[in-house]
Amino acid sequence: MKKEMHGWTGKILRVDLSNRRTEIEDTANYAYEYIGGRGIATRIAWNELRPGCGPFDEDNLLLIFTGPLTGTSAPYSGRTTICSVAPQAYPTPWFSRGSLGGHWGPELKYAGFDGIVVKGIADAPVYLYIEDGKVSIEDAHALWGLGIYDTQAKLFEKHGKDLRVITIGQTGENLSRLAIISTETESAVGQGGYGAVMGSKKLKAIAVRGRGRLSIAQPQEFARKCRAIAKESHGSHGWPHDAELDPEKVARYGMKFQACTQGCAMPCRDARYYTRVPGVIHKDKMYAGQMDCIATLFPGIKGTFYDWQLGFEAGFEISTMSNDYGVNQWDFMMGIIPWLRDCRNAGLIADLDGRPINFDDPYFWADMLRKLTFREGIGDALAEGGQRMPGLLGFGQDLIQRYYTGWGFAGHWDGHADKINYIYYPYWIVAALQWAMDTRDPISSGHGYVQAVMCWSPDRSPDYGISWEAIKEIGTEIYGTPDAVDPESGYAAKEIPAVFHGNRSALKDSLPIDDQVFPRIFSRKTEDHRPKADGMRGLSFEYELFISATGMDISEEEFNRMSERIVQLDRAIQVRHYGRERENDESVITAFTYPENVINPFIGKPIAMDREKFLEVMDRYYRLRGWDVETGAPLPETLRQVGLGDVAEVMGK
């Protein structure tokens, strides 16, 4: 008899849209070596993705995977990882990943599946309907052309309101490289352009209902650990305090807390839901939904880089419109909008197809979003994403470089292109390594170092941070040297946290769990600022949850080696499929050669990257990773050490 799996459901759904066939595969083929989420998707991509495959090719794979903690009571769990050839990636669309919150992932597991592998292209618009292990490919003609909100509403009408849906808007249908895959009101796979992959496959949505239960290997032990870790945990900004709501917005707009994902264990200061916000453009409408993260810039912030004056109500309406269309808000707000303002100020452009560029005018924003979504006029170039856009329009190529750090993604926690996050030298050296070695904006699961150190520092968070002495002591314990976190350490030892958090990111994307919370490194709930919970140390929380959920009898060292295996396999895909070399990695250096945005108070002047010193850090990174220093390719012995002997054989050839 087949051994029962715990944590996983044991089934992967495979869908071929070209011939409208479905089949089931055993999760055990991958799970015990690759965990779930990003790990399983990466292994399947190595096995099946054609080298050179484009994002809109029929044989491109859309890999949608939960993990062993999805749908359980594990704190800050419930996420879903989506992988494919990323349309947004520049200059070459290549295999990458994104992450989705909400409640769709848990529902997929309750319906009996750990993940879905989609290939092929339907001959007409379709959606997948999954209910308690049964799968059908349904006609989506009535949904095609609708926004994300109306699509969900139509599916609720047909199948019931207890349904969970991921879907694309018109941006995805029109194959914009900025198209998201979304669920509920704002949870989305925002980066990568995977909504366009769904659009190319004529796959409008995946609707799921599940009534099943998940098996936990050690239910009582798991419940105890979940309670203890939830009680200890707080966000990477040093959140031992309670988040607060704005009383005026509560009264006026029905503001309340709303978790970004099923497993959220505490109210978050960045997750707000509004039940009644009057429209400014559409005065007959009353809007409801979330406005989190980068969306909070839409109203404008006086006296900052984002100093325009839309106001809250118009900003909320524009944010909601972009969500409904399915537009990547990060690229739009961090890349396209600043670039467009620079171009206007430089006299390169004054209007968008006749409408004057005016960031204080909500009708200008609405018009621009519509043009981008439906590829009207200049919107056809905007829909190609920030780094492709200037080449198509014939102006502003020099200006766009200030906002894009690498691979077609606007800056994020890099200290240079990103104008909103607080980070200074030498911490962006680690961010630069993460950018150089990744396939996308790495900070979606890289908050563990740059954001954690900065936000726990006493100068950034005087009320909630900890001392530099404590940070250096803890850094020495984790990374082996205080230079890894010392604000005066320069380029020394920065390869160590870059490798460490690269591995932890693979774990977070595979379990999957919230990257804002894990790994647990600092705490204000203990006297020594080391996170602890019921005898468990902070860095072991992920391992403790995993073994109790799955029942796998492995050491923590073996568990951590699983994450290393995923990272090495991902790099092997880049080398084999796309010919990636060290020269590609070095291309991000240009983005760091400008003076930093925030000045280190210990230094007192802005710092720009020293290319030669950074190249030495890269040398050390490659050696620590077990990659060839000249080419950046994983060495065969490195692959064999992490259990990738078959990959080593292929790479050797």
Domain coverage including residue 605: 406-652
- Does residue 6 fall inside a structural domain? no
CATH number, position 550: 1.10.599.10
Q: How far apart are the first and last CA of the chain?
A: 39
> Could you tell me if 413 and 370 lie in one domain?
no
Confidence of residue 237 (pLDDT cuts 50, 70, 90): low
Predicted local confidence at residue 352, as pLDDT: 95
- 83, 158: one domain: yes
What is the sign of the dihedral through the CA atoms of 342, 346, 352 and 355? positive
Q: Is residue 278 classed as helix, strand or coil in its secondary structure?
A: strand
List 35's β-bridge partners, or say none.
none
Residue 226, domain member (yes or no): no
68, two tokens = 């062993």
DSSP 587: G
What band does 270 get if pLDDT is binned at 50, 70 and 90?
low
Q: Are residues 275 and 186 in the same domain?
A: no
Where a domain ends, among 380, 398, 416?
A: 398
CB 642 within 8 A of CB 561: yes
Query: Same domain, yes or no, for 455 and 587?
Result: yes
322 in a structural domain: yes
Q: What is the DSSP annotation of 137-178?
A: EEE-TTTTT--HHHHHHHHHHHH-TT-EEEE--HHHHTT-TT
At residue 321, the 3 state secondary structure works out as helix
Highest-pLDDT range among 255-259, 292-296, 452-456, 557-561: 557-561
Q: Where does the pLDDT of residue 395 fall: very low under 50, low under 70, confident under 90, or very high at 90 and above?
A: very high
- Average pLDDT, stretch 35-42? 98
Tell whether 294 and 200 lie within a shared domain.
Answer: no
Q: At what angle do helices 468-479 and 495-510 cross, to 10 degrees?
A: 80
Name the domain count of the chain.
3
- Write the CATH number for 304: 1.10.569.10
Contact 186, 291 (CB under 8 A): yes
Are 390 and 410 in a shared domain?
Answer: no
C-alpha to C-alpha distance for 230 and 72, rounded to whole angstroms:
13
233 neighbors 520 (Cβ within 8 angstroms)? yes
Same domain, residue pair 161 and 69 = yes
| Helical residues (DSSP H) of 397-487, grouped into ranges | 397-400, 427-437, 450-456, 468-479
491/240: higher pLDDT? 491
Give percent above pLDDT 90 in the chain.
91
pLDDT of residue 13: 98
Q: What is the pLDDT of residue 446?
A: 81
pLDDT at 1: 33
In 160-271, alpha helices (H) = 170-173, 194-200, 219-232, 247-253
Residues 306 and 415 in one domain: no
> Is residue 4 a part of any domain in this protein?
no
Is 625's pLDDT higher than 60? yes
pLDDT in tens, 129-160: 999 999 999 999 999 999 999 999 999 999 99
Last residue of a domain, one of 360, 375, 398: 398
Band (pLDDT 50/70/90 cuts) for residue 516 is confident
> What does the mean pLDDT of the chain come to?
95
- Same-domain pairing of 512 and 586: yes
Residue 368 within any structural domain of the chain: yes
pLDDT at 243: 73
pLDDT of 37 over the 70 cut: yes
Burial of 160 (0-12, 13-18, 19+ CB in 10 A): exposed
Are both 442 and 538 inside the same structural domain?
Answer: yes
User: Do residues 572 and 634 lie in contact, with contact meaning Cβ atoms separated by under 8 Å?
Assistant: yes
Q: Average the pLDDT over each of 432-436, 445-449, 472-476, 561-565 and give the range with the smallest value.
A: 445-449
- The CA distance from 318 to 298, in Å, is 7
User: Is residue 215 included in any domain, yes or no?
Assistant: no
Judge whether 138 and 124 are in contact, CB under 8 Å: no
Residue 437 to residues 109, 474, 627, Cα–Cα distance (Å):
32, 26, 11
Query: Six-digit token pair at 308?
Result: 């325009």
Indicate if the pLDDT at residue 332 is higher than 70: yes
Residue 461 pLDDT = 79
What's the CATH code of the domain at 192?
A: 3.60.9.10
Please report whether residue 219 resides in a domain.
no
| Poorest-pLDDT segment among 63-72, 441-450, 498-507 | 441-450
**What is the phi/psi pair of residue 468, to 5°?**
-65, -35
Q: Residue 241 pLDDT > 60, yes or no? A: no
Residues 343 and 490 placed together within one structural domain of the fold? no
- Could you tell me if residue 85 is inside a domain? yes
What is the spatial distance between Cα 526 and Cα 522, in angstroms, rounded to a whole number? 9
- Give the range among 286-300, 325-339, 362-376 with minimum mean pLDDT: 286-300
425 contacts 602 by C-beta, under 8 angstroms? no
Out of 338, 366, 398, pick the residue that ends a domain: 398
497 and 646: one domain? yes
Q: What are phi and psi of 461, to 5 degrees?
A: -130, 75
